Amino acid sequence: MFDIWSWICELPNSEEWDKADSPPVLELARIEPNPDSLTRSIQLRAERALGSNTDTAVIFSVCLQGFHTSNAEMILWVSDMCPISSPRPFLSLLLQLLQEIISRSPTAHNSTCPRSQLQTLKPDPICWIMESHSRESFSRFFNLVFLMRLFWLCACDAPSEVGSFYFHSVLAPNTEALSCKHVPVLQKFFITVGVDVELCFMRTLGYMLAKWLILTEVGVGLQTLTSAQNPSFSYATEAHGLWILKGYAPVFGMKLTRSNGRKYLFPAIEAKESVLRYALAHQQLEAVIQLEYSVRFYDGFLQVSTRVDNIRLHLAKLGFNENDDGEYAEERHFPSRIRVWVGPEVGATYVAGVSLGRSTNNGEKEVETQRIVKGSFGKSKVPKVKTLARTTATTRARNWRWDQDADGNAAIFDAILYDDVTGLEAATWKHPSNESKPGNSFQNRYAGASRPFTRTGGLVFAGDEYGEGVSWRLSKEMEGSVLKWRMGGQVWLSYLPNEVKSSYVETRCVEWCDEVDLPLMSP
């Protein structure tokens, strides 16, 4: 895996720069030629420039070699000047890369914060991130940022053969950089810059991963590529009495649990279904799970309580034009099951017990319909026959059912989506034509007053909808400490045709788990 940040940090200083015979060059990727072809490579070049009479500045550029028969060099991108004598010589380079990534982000069409309204990133928070981490730790973050910026350059601003070269020779050897779990700086970066920049950053990464997942299956000459390991990302924080878990996952990077389709996403036949799956591949699950917690102090023990404050699931469409998907614009996955757990670290001995609340009651109700039929014989206008008919239908009162459970000392909140007509669990559907055929309640599911989802296909659970909490009793000896607790979640997404005619049905699942702080400080 390349290490761009270390190479940049080891560039000659201003006194040594004049002695260099040629500009320093880092070769990002290279393909040796066949007898009748040219050597192809992508290079990062650093060149000295005079920023003023006293300061020496560096200009970085991304160059292509061997992509033209004339073997002429093609400059793909040029940075702003970076003053070497500055205390933070490459801060401006990082700010430029991040700002350009944000400006190209495939934001949601109905977003209240479009890219044009995002202000320029402030340098102080980014500077703090650079100075508070070691070179090795920060290098992983910078490599991910540069890899994302290079994606836009090669896939959108260069000839198509350069895009293919990027996936083959740049991204394939560096897929580890796409696993955000290996980038510990990313969590602090998101907390520092705010949620609007976070969404733009993660939607760019999600769009990039979506293209990668598609190309690993159907790209000509790209079938030998391996998919990125664990393309989902999550992090957890504690703030103002809340435990917050945020998770992101490209839908087609999630584990497939049920499907009636073929092994591959895009089979060579059934063109309409392939177009449908291509549209579904450009989606990303964005989850926010908020649990409210409190700590009470008693004579002989401490009591920690928590309840669901907010669960928000959004299915972002990773595109640029609202009409890109055509007739498949209203086709998207929907949440069919949510499992959230929280509790002390594994092996904790300071917990005496966990107390659960009640599960929700998803009772049934009967609806009675009465009809009166009147009729007559011959030419008489006076009704001679009158009959009364009554019919009764049983329906479930709610689409979602909440349950509580415990696994050791961890409390579990489980939300399951049911078809309110048949009573079947949505996440277990196999095929719309077999005995597990769902009702019509999930077709045209984003319209109507009784729809179970938002108009954009998401889902919101508030604390007043599920108000029962759980609690733990802890040893009095833990008072004054800050504990590490586990917080995790699983989300199942299902697909059932919404407005198009298709027999395709599937369910996918993603799992996140992180640590949060539990401060046990008495007031």
**pLDDT single digits (tens) 434-463:** 444 555 567 777 776 767 788 777 889 887
pLDDT in tens, 330-347: 888 999 999 999 999 988
Least confident of 122-136, 298-312, 360-374: 360-374
Residue 293 · residue 241 · CB < 8 Å: yes
pLDDT at 125: 87
488-520 pLDDT, tens per residue? 999 999 998 888 888 888 899 999 999 999 999
Length of the chain measured in residues: 523
How far apart are the C-alpha atoms of 288 and 239, rounded to whole Å?
Answer: 14
The 10s digit of each residue's pLDDT in 416-431 is: 998 877 778 888 876 5
Whole-number mean pLDDT of the chain? Answer: 82
Q: What is the pLDDT of residue 433?
A: 47
Pick from 435, 492, 446: nearest CA to 331: 446
The radius of gyration of the chain's CA atoms, rounded to the nearest angstrom, is: 29
Residue 360 backbone dihedrals phi, psi, to 5 degrees: -75, 155
Inter-residue contact 283 to 291 (CB < 8 Å):
no
Domain boundaries, the chain: 242-362+400-522
pLDDT of residue 144: 93
pLDDT of residue 328: 80
> In this structure, which amino acid lies at residue 415?
A
- Distance between CA atoms of 493 and 457, rounded to whole angstroms? 11
Poorest-pLDDT segment among 3-17, 133-147, 312-326, 384-398 = 384-398
* Cβ atoms within 10 Å, residue 299: 5
Residue 367: what pLDDT? 55
pLDDT at position 229: 60
Nearest 5°: CA angle at 151, between 147 and 153? Answer: 115
* Location of structure tokens 């907010």: 310
Q: How far apart are CA 15 and CA 193, in angstroms?
A: 35
pLDDT on residue 226: 56
pLDDT tens digits, 79-136: 998 887 777 889 999 999 999 999 888 865 556 655 655 667 888 889 999 988 888 8
Q: What span, in angstroms and rounded, lies between the C-alpha atoms of 334 and 298?
A: 44
The highest-confidence range among 94-103, 207-216, 360-369, by mean pLDDT, is 94-103
pLDDT of residue 464: 73
The set of long-range contacts for 367-375, using a CB threshold of 8 Å and a minimum separation of 24, is: 367/392, 367/393, 367/394, 367/395, 368/392, 369/393
Query: Angle, to 10 degrees, between the axis of helix 185-193 and the axis of helix 135-156?
Result: 70
Compute the average pLDDT of residues 213-240: 74
Q: What span, in angstroms and rounded, lies between the C-alpha atoms of 212 and 151? A: 11
Contact 40, 67 (CB under 8 A): yes
Question: Phi-psi bin for 369: left (phi > 0), alpha (psi -120 to 50), beta?
Answer: beta
Average pLDDT over residues 146-166: 90
- Across 36-40, 45-49, 250-254, 265-269, the highest mean pLDDT is recorded for 250-254
pLDDT at position 435 is 45
What local confidence, expressed as pLDDT, does residue 152 receive? 92
Q: What is the pLDDT of residue 13?
A: 73
Please report, for residues 352, 371, 501, the alpha-carbon distance to residue 324 in angstroms, rounded to integers and kept in the order given: 56, 48, 19
Model pTM score: 0.86
